[in-house]
Amino acid sequence: MSLLPVAEAQARLLDSATPLHRIESVPLDMADGRVLARDLAARLTQPPFDASAMDGYALRFEDAATPGSELRLIGASAAGHAFEGAVGKGETVRIFTGAPVPPGADSVLLQEDAERLEGERIRTTYALRKGQHIRPRGQDFLEGEVVLPAGTVMDFSRLTVAAGMNHPALDVYRRPLVAILATGDELVVPGSAPGPSQIVASNTFGIAALARSAGAHVLDLGIVPDNKEEITAAIGRAQVAKADIVVTLGGASVGDHDLVQATMISAGMKLDFWRIAMRPGKPLMVGSLGDIHILGLPGNPVSSLVCGLLFLEPLIRKLASLPPVKREGVAYAAVPFAANDQRQDYVRATLTKSDDGRWLAKPFSKQDSSMMKVFSSADCLVVRPPHAPELAIGSPSQVIFLRPDLLG
């Protein structure tokens, strides 16, 4: 099988994915980042009455159209404590922000634009505009009005309006479940004492974090040795849990000790493709097992994470009905980049700002796909297309930003 171009591999994977649209109700305080499954309409009108926008005096415009008008103070209206009565000719009510405007009043005079007189009276000191500083009933939204349509991704501002519309819970799409399985006789969990020829398993934690940030729940299937029966049993646990995606880490190639692909096919997986024209990450496997998407990531940590960014993150977000994460941008070469071969290269690099505000990318001298420390220090991946010529200093190139704070 020839190497598949990255763009074609991504398209084939996403074309095979359909948003899950399984609905659940969650409390409002757990709905951040979730996608509304149904239109959300207001259960009440906001504000529910004409309300004062400032501290001052509620009065009739015709009684205070010019400075120097004197009015009799007949009471007060505060938030939660409305004035019980109406404002008549020559009268005013002390009013506070958010309080109901009493019947009869049509304007609010700022408190600093009035002079208090003896005998519960005030004198206006500033010209008044009719209707000023009043928030009319329903200015924000009306009962029954759809404020947040289905498909809205909830965030801090949308949660605020949902609460204001009197919704204690929201119907949202359920998060996809991603089951992660690490394979290999050489792997031990962090905190263990590795034996001869063993290493600490690290990929699971980075891939799990990436999956959660993309909008998924994660099921850790643990580490299994290079054994067909144990791999099959782990996949069975994912099926029982109704996983939407199974991610395997390592063992997806076809070497003597790479048993994942063959075992998955024996279990009923339909293999779509494997081996991508990219570096790092060539031995990527994509298939399906019934309704479960199968994504076999390489065992090398950097290869696994790069493939996770390019394939797992967009897959999760499509299943979750979330918009794609914007990671692409442009940076300029801080040093020359060598000509590339037939595989699309994702070069780990740091970023600095030039005097004119442009991003400058400088690659690490070592790009081995096993070097976790380098990847953790990288700000971006510089994308070098197949057969790209040498990139001269100052030349632009597409980059994939690794951290959201760099996207501005």
| Secondary structure letter of residue 364 according to DSSP | -
Task: Tell me the backbone φ, ψ of residue 172, rounded to 5 degrees.
Answer: -130, 165
Average pLDDT, the chain: 95
* Range with lowest mean pLDDT among 157-166, 190-199, 213-222, 234-243: 190-199
- Please determine, for residue 1, whether its predicted confidence score (pLDDT) is greater than 80: no
Picking from 33-37, 172-176, 181-185, 377-381, which range would have the lowest pLDDT averaged per residue? 181-185
For the segment 130-139, the average pLDDT, to the nearest whole number, is: 97
Q: Cis peptide leading into 396, omega within 30 of 0?
A: no
Each residue's pLDDT tens digit, 280-307: 998 999 999 999 999 999 999 999 999 9
pLDDT value for 407: 74
Q: What are the residues whose beta carbons fall under 8 Å from the beta carbon of 310, sequence distance 6 or more?
A: 6, 10, 278, 281
Domains and CATH numbers, the chain: 6-21+175-319 (3.40.980.10), 27-46+150-173 (no CATH), 51-135 (2.170.190.11), 328-406 (2.40.340.10)
pLDDT exceeds 70 at position 209: yes
Q: How far is CA 220 from CA 208, 242, 372, 399, in A?
A: 8, 13, 21, 31
Q: What average pLDDT does this structure show over 34-60?
A: 98
Contacts of 394-397 with C-beta under 8 Å, sequence gap 24+, read: 394/332, 394/333, 395/332, 395/333, 396/330, 396/331, 396/332, 397/330, 397/331, 397/332, 397/333, 397/337, 397/361
pLDDT the model gives residue 256:
58
Q: Residue 279 half-sphere exposure, CB side, CA atoms within 13 Å? A: 13
d(CA 113, CA 167): 40
Q: Which two tokens stand for residue 149?
A: 């349509």
Any idea what DSSP says for residue 62?
G
What is the spatial distance between Cα 103 and Cα 101, in angstroms, rounded to a whole number?
Answer: 7
pLDDT digits (tens, 9 = 90+) for 50-109: 999 999 999 999 999 899 999 999 999 999 999 999 999 999 999 999 999 999 999 999
pLDDT given at position 142? 98
Provide the pLDDT for residue 405: 78
Whole-number pLDDT of residue 164: 97
pTM of the model: 0.91
- What's the average model confidence in pLDDT over 233-262? 87
Region label for 340, one of left (φ > 0), alpha (ψ between -120 and 50) or beta (otherwise):
beta
The bridge status of strand 328-333 relative to strand 396-401 is antiparallel
User: Which residue reads 């740091």 in tokens?
Assistant: 350
Query: Quick check: 133 pLDDT over 80?
Result: yes
pLDDT at 50: 98
- Count of C-beta atoms within a 10 Å radius of residue 122: 22
Q: What are the pLDDT digits (tens) for 335-378?
A: 999 999 999 999 999 999 999 999 999 999 999 988 999 999 99
Res 234 pLDDT > 80: yes
**In this model, does residue 408 exceed pLDDT 70?**
no
Q: Give the mean pLDDT of 211-237.
A: 96
* pLDDT value for 254: 59
Q: Using alpha carbons only, what angle is made at residue 312 by residues 310 and 314, rounded to the nearest 5 degrees? A: 70
| Angstrom distance (rounded) from CA 350 to CA 278 | 20
DSSP string for residues in 114-141 = EEEETTTEEEE-S---TTTTEE-TTSSB
Q: What percent of the chain has pLDDT over 70?
A: 98
For residues 156-167, average pLDDT? 98
**Which residues contact residue 209 at a Cβ distance below 8 angstroms, ignoring those fewer than 6 apart?**
none
The 10s digit of each residue's pLDDT in 306-343 is 999 999 999 999 999 999 999 999 999 999 999 999 99
How far is residue 281's CA from residue 272's CA, in Å, rounded to a whole number? 17
